[in-house]
Each structure stands twice: as C-alpha cells, then as structure tokens.
Chain A
Amino acid sequence: MDNYPALIVVAPLLAALFAGIAAWIEERLSYPIAVIGLAISTFSAIMTLMTVIASGTIHYRMAGWAPPMGIEYRIDLLNAMVLLLVSGIAFLNLIASYKSVEQETSDRAGSFYTIYLLFVTGLLGVTATGDLFNLYVLIEITSLTSYAMVALGDKDRGPLASLNYVFIGVIGASFYLLGVGYLYLITGSLNMMDVAGILPALKGSSTVLVAFILCMIGVWIKMALFPMHVWLPNAYSYSPVAFARMVAPLMTKVMVYVMIRLMVTVFGFEYIFETLNIADAVVWLATLAILAGGVMALAQKNLKKMLTYIIVCEIGYMVGGAWMGNQLGMTGAILHILNDAIMTFALFLAVGNMVYKLKKVDLTDLKGLFGKMPWTMTGFVLAAFSIIGVPPTCGFFSKWYLILGALEKGAYHFAAALIISSLICAVLFFKVFEICFFEPMSEGHGHGESHSQVAIEEAPISMLIITGFVSLSLIVVGLYSGTIVNTIILPFLK
C-alpha cells in the first residue's frame, strides 16, 4: 500500500460525502461513517509517519504526473507529525462529541458531521500538500466550513460574528493568493520545491519581496496574529462546542505550520534572515501579541472567551520562535505546535464537559465545580499547568526551547514576554481554580467539606475517557519531548 498519503486526505472527504447522503436517508448512519473515515485517516497518518521516520521523505504524485506539472504530496517529518496530530485530535474529538452534538444540533446532526469532516479534510490537505495553489483551495474549504459552524453555534450573535469572519477571512486568503500570483509570475511554477529551486537566483527582486510579504500577511491574518486577531475570539466562542474543541487547537496551529513551511521550504532561511531585515520587527510584533493576548485574557468574564485570548497569546510564542532565526527558536516553535495543540485540546475538552452540564461558562457559573465534576476539573488543572509551563507537562519544554532561542539571539524582550505571559496565565488559572474550588455552590460550609456533599454530576463517560486520555498524554508527551526533538524536529531542520 503506497497510497497512505492520499488516503489520509481522501478518507475523510469520502466519509463526508457518504455522511452527507446518509443525512438525507438515515441520519443515524452519519456518525458511524464519520468515525470510520477518521479512523482510516488516523491509521494512514500513523503508517505515513512510521514510513517517513524509517525511510525519509515521501513523494506522492497525484494523477501520476511528475511534480512541477502535477500536484505532489511531499511528506517529510514535519508534515507527517502535524498530519498525525490533526487526524488524531479530530478522531478523538469526534468520539467525545457524540453526546454534545446530540444536545446542541440534534436536528441537523448529519449535516454537522459532514461539515466537520470537510473541515478536517481541509486541514489535512493544507498540511500534506506540496503545491502553493492547492494550499489556497484547501484553506478556503476550512474557512467556508468554519463560517458555517460559527453561525450555527450561537443562533443570536453567531451570524454577525460569522459575517465579519468572512470579510477578514477573504482578505487573508486573497492576500495569500496574490502572493502566490506574484511568485508564479516571477518563477512560472507553483510547486514548492520547484519555486524554492528558482528563487535563489532572484534574490534582490522586488517582486519576490512583495510576494513574501503578501503571503505572510495572508497567513498571519488566518492565524490571528495580534493586530489581525479580532475575528478569532468571537468566532471560536460562538461555534458549537464539538466544533470549537477541534478548531481552537488545530486551525491556528496548521496556519503556523503553513508559515513555517513557507519560511523553511519555499523562501529559505537564507533569504529571510540574510537578505531581508524584518526578523527583528516580527519578533517585536510577536512580543506585542503575547502581551496583548495575556492582558485581554485577564479582562474576560467568560471562560471560553478567556481561553480564546490565550490562543492569541500562544500564537505569539510560535511566530516569535519561528522568526528567531536560530535552530533553538525554530525547534521551540515546532515543538510548541504539537504541545499547544494537545494542551488547548485538553482545555477545550474540559470546557466542553462543563458546557454540556452547565450550558454557560461565565466565571461566576463555575462555583463549586471541583465537587461537582472532579474528573473534568482534574483534566482542566493538568492542561492549565501545561499552559502555564509547570515542568513535567509538555508546555514547559517548548517554552524552554523558545526562551533558549531568544537568549541565543539576544531578544531579551521576547524572553521577558514569555515569562510575563506565563505569570499572567498562572494568575488567570488560579483565579478560575479559586472560584471552582473555594467558592461553594450555594450557601456552602467552607471549602473542606463542600465537595463531599455536592452530588457528583459528571459529563458522559465517553467525554470523560477522552479528557483523561488527552490530559495524561500531556505528561507523556512532556516526558518524551527529548525523543520527539531528536527523531523528528532536528532531522527536519537539517
């Protein structure tokens, strides 16, 4: 079977279509179809990752045409890792969300799964492809699906938030498309490797410079880097929980991946850090993003909104690390894609369980939650520790690399911002813990006894198992981060 790379993307697409047909004929069939599709995809992703580690980069030619003419999937270590991450998270989330989809969008569950699968297809395709234009089409699939989902979640404010998201999303995608156009005009090719081969000869060209800036702006808008972040908090907090749990960890990370791919593979380090002198400015922008994200998170009263601002903050980490221009920073950024996806997923899983039981998650609604949902809160605490960066969890290690990278470059402001933002996160989460743990449900009797008296009302078992599994994997990934760096990231950067 050499077709695993194609199967990763095609299995969810086929499943989406069958689920779409099933939605009209027998709606209950949609869910098992979706599970099968994503299971195949995850399995193929695991096989692909193993093949890549064992025997190096895979080239898969779509329609059998040689690369610059046809579209090629070029899967190296970084791709393979992100592919497994995306399909794995989508699969686990799908298993966890059966109940919450039933609760939130019961009458349209079939269509929900179809859109969900199409979104996953888009993300996987963005990650796997080796063609600049194909990337654009797939970005549009992910955008269209998320527009629909945002409007679907909150019936009241959703449509307006979604329409604003459409405007910003289209500007972002169009800038990227324009950048690709400039690249095509000057090189005559769309394949990433082919373009990368031609570009060094055109070093001083203003067209290449403009192409680079346009692509970067487009990708930054899509990943919600600080001044372009306005769409993200509303969009993510209004979409249905089952979707938010997947889009929050994955969408921005995949866009960070796209940025790293453009930097490393297409334009090349040499061009970015030696010919251009904008790395310092971008690191400053990332610093600002971290601080602004942290401060705005402090101001929120709703748990979901607060977490979305933390995402804005985390994007700053990764962009800053990638633009540090040294190996340590890049290692940190790539490791943080993995870690941040898992820890955001764990956080949102816990929040999803809370929403399932409480309906609203304003901070004041969380009183006495430790007693009511002990397992969910354990997962939440682990994930929060990881975001803060407490040692055995995985969040610590990527921050460590990022700080080392910043110190090596001499970007002390970035290192300081990282530490400050960790403190802000600590303050934020301890505020939440305080409410959940010490403030009793109603008229309580102090903190000691209250949680033995409150009846335990946990989320369904399927959601809890996934929450527990993902929270534990935070520690496992943390302990094995040395292995991940040595087998995947360092060989990739060489």
Chain B
Amino acid sequence: MTDLLPLIVAKYNYWLYVILMMIGLYAMIAKNNLIKKLVGMNIFQTAIILFYVSIGYKKDATIPIIQSAHGGGHGAHEAAIHAADYINPLPHVLMLTAIVVSVATFGVAMALAVRVYQRYQTLEEDELRMRLSEK
C-alpha cells in the first residue's frame, strides 16, 4: 500500500486523461445522435487539455503570476525570481488557444446540426441514413 499510493498519485492524472479520451472517442464513433457525438467531441478535446495542464503542473510551486511585481513598479523585479517557484506557463498558453479553437469548432458544429435538422427533421444517424437512401 505504501508503494502503491505514490505510483497512483504520480500517474493518476495521465491514466484518467486516457480514460476520458476513450469515453469521448467512443461517443464520437458509436453514438447515434449527432448532438451526443458533439458532446463526445468536446470531452475528447477537454481530455487533451487536461493532459497538457497536467504536464505543466509542478509540485510546491505557485500560479504563474510573479508576485513581487504586483502593481508594476520599476524596481519591483529586482528580487530574484526562482524558476522552481512558479508553474510552467507554456502549456497554459497552448491550452488557452486549444480551448478557443474547440469552442469555435463547437459553435460551427452546432450551426451545422441546426441546418441538418432543418433539412431532415431528425438528428439520429440511422434515421438520417434512411432518409438519404429513400431518395
């Protein structure tokens, strides 16, 4: 038990991100309803974001905002900044971009879903397939 706990703590995030991704991917492939697929898509994307944020985490470090300079004086940053005190900001930046991209895709996909519904009056894939083969 004493050996197991550190291992779980060390890798738990990475394992769970894999599980979340699997849930999202499964929903995207297997679900019948297009909106459900979109939910799956979003879960898939957030799982990736979770992965990146987990990379950035550092033990015993604080959020990446330099405290001594708060208020922005000219001489405020004379105090030395230790890299070990702050969490890695780069993955956060990347993920801000990824979140924006995912919401943009989500919006467009929703608009498409509305269009599909206008045309076929359904969002279930099997019913859509039936409508398509009717013609």
Binding site for B on A (CB under 8 A): 133, 137, 140, 143-144, 147-148, 151, 156-157, 159-160, 162-163, 166-167, 170-171, 174, 177-178, 181, 184-185, 190
Contact = CB atoms under 8 A, between A and B. Distances in A.
B127 to A, nearest CB: 12
A144 B108 contact: yes
Contacts of A162: 112
Contacts of B128: 160
A170 B103 CA distance: 12
A140 B98 CA distance: 10
Contact of A163 (B25, B44, B91, B109): B109
A184 B51 CA distance: 11
Contacts of A137: 97, 101
Describe B's contact surface by its main secondary structure: helix
A239 to B, nearest CB: 14
Nearest to A159: B115
A174 B99 CA distance: 12
28 contacts: A133-B94, A133-B97, A140-B104, A140-B105, A143-B105, A144-B104, A144-B108, A147-B108, A148-B108, A151-B115, A156-B119, A159-B115, A159-B119, A160-B120, A160-B128, A163-B34, A163-B109, A163-B113, A166-B41, A166-B105, A166-B108, A170-B44, A170-B105, A171-B28, A177-B48, A178-B51, A181-B51, A184-B91
Interface string B30-68: 000010010001001100100110010000000000000
A133 B95 CA distance: 10
Of residues A137, A162, A166, which shows the largest number of chain B Cβ atoms within 10 Å of its Cβ?
Answer: A166
B116 interface: yes
A178 B28 CA distance: 17
Interface in B78-124: 90-91, 94, 97-98, 101, 104-105, 108-109, 112-113, 115-116, 119-120
A201 to B, nearest CB: 19
Contacts of A181: 48, 51-52, 55
Interface residues of B, number: 29
A68 B112 CA distance: 39
A143 B44 CA distance: 17
Contacts of A185: 55
A371 B28 CA distance: 50
B116 A170 contact: no
B55 A184 contact: yes
A184 B52 CA distance: 9
A237 to B, nearest CB: 15
Most buried by B among A144, A160, A178: A160
Contacts of A190: 90, 94
B105 A160 contact: no
Contact of B41 (A140, A147, A167, A184): A167
Nearest to A177: B48
A113 to B, nearest CB: 19
Contacts of A148: 108
Contacts of B97: 133, 137
A133 B55 CA distance: 15
Nearest to A145: B108
Given A159-B116, A167-B28, A170-B44, 18 more contacts: A133-B94, A133-B97, A140-B105, A144-B108, A151-B112, A159-B112, A160-B120, A160-B128, A163-B34, A163-B109, A163-B112, A163-B113, A166-B41, A166-B108, A167-B37, A181-B48, A181-B51, A190-B90
Given A167-B28, A167-B41, A184-B91, A160 B108 contact: no
Nearest to A169: B105
Contacts of B105: 140, 143-144, 166, 170
Contacts of B101: 137, 140
Contacts of B41: 166-167, 170
B129 to A, nearest CB: 10
Contacts of B119: 156, 159-160
Given A171-B28, A184-B91, A166 B51 contact: no
Contacts of A167: 28, 37, 41
Nearest to A147: B108
